[in-house]
Structure 1
Amino acid sequence: MGHFDAALSSHALVALSAILLQVSYSFFNKVGPNAWYLVGVGIRIAIGIGLHTAPTQAVLAMPFSEQEYRKRLFYCLYMMDRLVSISLGRPFGIQDEDIEVELFTDANGAAAQAGPSRLQLHLHSSPLSVPLHIVRLRRIAGRIFTRVYSGRNKHLNAAQRDDILQTLHSELIDWRRSMPFPLPVSHALPVPQFSTAWYDLNYYQHVLMLYRPSPLCPILTIEKVSVIAEAASMYVSQVSALQLEKRYAFNWLNLFSVFTVSLTLIYSTIAQPGPLSEYLRGTKALDDLRTISGILAIYGRKFPSALKCMALVQDVVTKLELRADSGGVVTVASHHHSGSTISTNDATNEPDSAYPTLTTGNTAYDNLQEQVRQSPGQHSQSLEVEAVSDGMLETGPQLDFLNDNFDFSATDLGNAAAQVMANGMMASASMDMDEEMMQLLDGVWAD
């Protein structure tokens, strides 16, 4: 870091190398420029010197190792751009259609130049097969972000929206099935990407990203709720497996994922059409939330906002435990926030199987929610959402989860979690991830 400024003023490739190191460092430490700023600078430099374009005659005249080095620099930046931009809900620094440069070679320079016969002598995957496979995942993630989380597909009908989800899910399945095998072995460091649990974790993480409430599908059928419930549970299992292997990375990107999964578990638990108490006793949802609480406690040693997340999860677990032990008989209340009303009834007047409902004042949204609430057993039918206005997702409640006087309501938790997942963090350009999460938990919601 002491030589960072000097490196930036040096040769462009040297500057990019320094930026990549600084970005990697910023994932784990909050000292120096934040990751969003650094990745943006790196992308601008890479585009400025044409690393994203097809190689010119001057580049082709370079030694093979230097050509490969340029490709690796660019695709490292590409993967970091996708990872950070998606986590923060921000536009990409470069679009896939603007990239012409080929991927780097799946071998070191000497082996690649020796020809195919030399490569076939190896009975294990090249270490470079791993980052190549990760590039493929980042491309799929980019398509999910573009097609599911932008407003460009709001005009589609329910069948067309499901086709998008199914196509992207098929790509994820193919990615998981085609992972490098056997994985490289590292005796010096416990590399996360050299464990099958890392690939399982990323598969389930992207399934969650695909099916949770989003601008494409703001209202979920019960089938989709079941998908994200199972995926969230499997995600927690893979985090535990990586922890046991000492391969789990406690960086802020993974903290964001764990926090989002906790919201998904809360939402998918509350959104079940059957009696909540029976669901809690028949699944490991509570155990998963307890596991997440322990993971967040570890994060809290480095990221203070993780402790607020942990307090939220612990509070929810405590109240869900009471719900499970009481057989589902609780009294809930009505809360009014920013002109929006969360409509709930006393549990003695409304059956435990009632689907959560949120009255927003948006007629199309409220009518759709009412259909779901009145027909909890008919969620297999696709619901048309063309009439839902563009501003629908901005009408949700503003809740302070950590207020000591917060009167627990299943509807509150389900709808608030859905709003967070649908809108994303949407951090401003001047705010880093830790500050954004702290504001979110303090009840300050992004527009």
Structure 2
Amino acid sequence: MAVEASLPPRHAADYLVDVYFQYQTPHLPIVGRSDAEEAIESAYEAMDGREVPGRAVERDILVSFMILAIALCDVSNPSGGRPSQSEGCFRSAIGWYEKAITSSKSDIETLRTILLLAQFIALCPSRGSLWHLTGIALRLCIDMGLHWETDDRAVNMSSATLYDRRRLWYSTYQFDRMLCITLGRPFGIIDESIRVPLPNPWAIHRGTPSSEFDIHSQRAHNHLFLLSKLASEIKHVQHSQVWALKIAYPRADYNLWVQDIQPRLEEWYATIPPMNKAHQASIFASQAYWDYVYNNTLLLLYRPNISTTGSHMTSPDATVLAFAASCQLIASIKTLQREGGVDILWQTAHHLFMAGLGVIYSLWQSKEVRDQNPRGSSVSTLQSCASTLSALAESFPGVAGCRDAFDTLSSATVNWLVNDNAGEPQHDGHHREFRKQAEDLLQQLRPVRGVREEGGMKMSDMMVADGFLFSEMLSSAAQWPDSQDSALGDMGFDTLGGGFSVVN
């Protein structure tokens, strides 16, 4: 565990505030620039023993340490990995947690504090439970009515207050959707129970040299929120295909719906905010990042899903599209990993492994995929996936099992592809042998906290949108280290048990 850190020299803190608002990784817009600067100023004055009238000093110190901790995650470390000072700042923030919550003047400030903690835990999951923090944040939002904005409420609030409430709501929504879609868990709140306009980017305070960058970053975040809504719709419709028929829950015509969402996804991609308007260091200036999130959503749409688990088959066109999305997703993650743009390691490892399985599955299942793509290109894609998984394993040891399993499956696939005498896999022994090998390997990728599903892990099952076992394995590997220590335990969160409690 890192030791508690003190506030750095003021010029270093100012530099880190700039780093924080450059969005070098896609953390969420939880704190505004002016609020962050005021909190930093108040914290330094308080630490120097000066009176700071009209300020909740405890909260300012906590917010300052959290901003520094998150910003330090974006600063490259010559020895590799993330600077230890980042965790030191986090531990210092935790020391102020109880006082900050006690002195909080509103539930909004309590929510902001919890979201900042969640942001850091997303980057360093061994320090606590992102799932529990997100649940607390979501319940606070609902308790305050942030999930449903009426016209009367909007008229009677200032633009700054509306902007803040909407920003915090969508930050919470983003955490919930990211976790639930990746882990295959139910949403904390359904989209039909939400009525909140997106934050207005031009409501940000103007007058500073960096204000245009701030406006662009909010536009970029809004675009990500829209993509999360589309991904949420995809999961909802796929699940609805296996619901019992009820008048209250009509089942969508799946083929018609796919034809409807395809152009909406294409429109989303065509309307990405201009990357040349972003700060040059921002992740939002990276084409690879936008390609990553877009193709990951396409893969969610086209890969085998819960409505096809009976036959484990998808349409030939969907398999071709899933293969293309998988290949582009692998290329994008490889670029981001090389450029230091990967933030949530276990989630990226999940997406990369699923994309690799998508390539392997499509090659073995679809003659159209094999005919339309040169063997050399497919082999190169598999090698890129394997090398990127190996690179991620250096920073996140929990992905080592995925790397080893993928290396074996990839090697078997390459050997089959380059064999000139290979027949159709459905009609020769290669397919049966490979399927058994895949099931044996994937069986090893089980969550360390116990098995919650019966039976083995088949490749088609793992590619389903709710591949629960595999997602749990990676989540466990990231969140529950062998030491089983957690800084959040110091502030009253029972992160190792089945629930949580907050110390009053």
Within 5 A, what are the aligned runs for 1:28-43? 28-43=123-138
Partner of 1:137: 227
Within 5 A, what are the aligned runs for 1:33-182? 33-54=128-149, 61-110=156-205, 126-152=216-242, 160-182=253-275
Within 5 A, what are the aligned runs for 1:43-442? 43-54=138-149, 61-110=156-205, 126-152=216-242, 160-187=253-280, 190-218=281-309, 219-273=313-367, 282-329=375-422, 345-346=428-429, 399-401=440-442, 416-422=458-464, 424-426=466-468, 433-435=475-477
In 2, are the aligned partners of 1:54 and 1:101 still within 8 Å (CA)?
yes
> Unpaired segments of 5 or more residues in structure 1?
113-121, 333-342, 359-396, 404-414, 439-447
Tell me by how many angstroms 1:7 deviates: 4.1
> What's the TM-score, normalizing by structure 1?
0.70
Tell me by how many angstroms 1:132 deviates: 1.2
Q: Aligned pairs, how many?
A: 361
In 1, are the aligned partners of 2:213 and 2:278 still within 8 Å (CA)?
no
1:64-109 per-position Cα deviation (integer Å, ceiling 9, x unaligned): 3233112111111011111111111111112222222322112144
In 1, are the aligned partners of 2:137 and 2:172 still within 8 Å (CA)?
yes
Tell me by how many angstroms 1:199 deviates: 1.8
Tell me by how many angstroms 1:222 deviates: 2.1
- Kindly tell me: are residues 266 and 234 of structure 1, through their superposed partners in 2, closer, same or farther at Cα, counting changes over 3 Å? same
Tell me by how many angstroms 1:159 deviates: 11
| Partners of 2:283 and 2:169 in 1: CA distance | 22
| Partners of 1:430 and 1:2 in 2: CA distance | 30
In 2, are the aligned partners of 1:204 and 1:234 still within 8 Å (CA)?
yes
Q: Which moved more, 1:14-23 or 1:246-255?
A: 246-255
| Partners of 1:435 and 1:150 in 2: CA distance | 31
Within 5 A, what are the aligned runs for 1:18-37? 18-37=113-132
| Partners of 2:166 and 2:255 in 1: CA distance | 36
- Kindly tell me: are residues 432 and 288 of structure 1, through their superposed partners in 2, closer, same or farther at Cα, counting changes over 3 Å? closer
> Unpaired segments of 5 or more residues in structure 2?
1-93, 445-456, 481-504
In 2, are the aligned partners of 1:39 and 1:77 still within 8 Å (CA)?
yes
Identity of matched residues, %: 20
Q: Which moved more, 1:34-43 or 1:315-324?
A: 315-324
| Residue identity matched to 1:105 | N
1:189-208 per-position Cα deviation (integer Å, ceiling 9, x unaligned): x3222322222222211111
- Kindly tell me: are residues 19 and 398 of structure 1, through their superposed partners in 2, closer, same or farther at Cα, counting changes over 3 Å? same
| Partners of 1:167 and 1:223 in 2: CA distance | 16
In 1, are the aligned partners of 2:305 and 2:465 still within 8 Å (CA)?
yes
Tell me by how many angstroms 1:61 deviates: 4.8
In 1, are the aligned partners of 2:101 and 2:110 still within 8 Å (CA)?
yes
What RMSD in Å do the two structures reach over aligned CA positions? Answer: 3.9
In 2, are the aligned partners of 1:303 and 1:434 still within 8 Å (CA)?
no
- Kindly tell me: are residues 150 and 289 of structure 1, through their superposed partners in 2, closer, same or farther at Cα, counting changes over 3 Å? farther
Match of 2:458, SS?
helix
| Partners of 1:329 and 1:217 in 2: CA distance | 28
1:323-382 per-position Cα deviation (integer Å, ceiling 9, x unaligned): 23432559x9xxxxxxxxxx98536xxxx9x9x999xxxxxxxxxxxxxxxxxxxxxxxx
> What's the TM-score, normalizing by structure 2?
0.62
Match of 2:400, SS?
helix
| Partners of 1:49 and 1:123 in 2: CA distance | 30
Match of 1:54, SS?
coil
Tell me by how many angstroms 1:429 deviates: 12
| Residue identity matched to 1:16 | L
| Partners of 2:160 and 2:341 in 1: CA distance | 30
In 1, are the aligned partners of 2:185 and 2:466 still within 8 Å (CA)?
no
In 1, are the aligned partners of 2:330 and 2:384 still within 8 Å (CA)?
yes
Tell me by how many angstroms 1:402 deviates: 8.0
1:108-144 per-position Cα deviation (integer Å, ceiling 9, x unaligned): 44459xxxxxxxxx89973321111111111101100
- Kindly tell me: are residues 61 and 280 of structure 1, through their superposed partners in 2, closer, same or farther at Cα, counting changes over 3 Å? closer
| Residue identity matched to 1:64 | S
| Partners of 1:151 and 1:214 in 2: CA distance | 10
In 1, are the aligned partners of 2:298 and 2:322 still within 8 Å (CA)?
yes
Match of 1:186, SS?
coil
- Kindly tell me: are residues 59 and 185 of structure 1, through their superposed partners in 2, closer, same or farther at Cα, counting changes over 3 Å? closer
| Residue identity matched to 2:284 | Q
**Which of 97, 117, 124 is 1:4 aligned to?**
97
- Kindly tell me: are residues 178 and 124 of structure 1, through their superposed partners in 2, closer, same or farther at Cα, counting changes over 3 Å? farther
| Residue identity matched to 1:93 | G
| Partners of 1:260 and 1:268 in 2: CA distance | 12
- Kindly tell me: are residues 256 and 401 of structure 1, through their superposed partners in 2, closer, same or farther at Cα, counting changes over 3 Å? closer
- Kindly tell me: are residues 401 and 44 of structure 1, through their superposed partners in 2, closer, same or farther at Cα, counting changes over 3 Å? closer
**Which of 106, 111, 128 is 1:16 aligned to?**
111
Tell me by how many angstroms 1:40 deviates: 0.8
In 2, are the aligned partners of 1:52 and 1:101 still within 8 Å (CA)?
yes
Tell me by how many angstroms 1:243 deviates: 3.7
- Kindly tell me: are residues 435 and 44 of structure 1, through their superposed partners in 2, closer, same or farther at Cα, counting changes over 3 Å? same
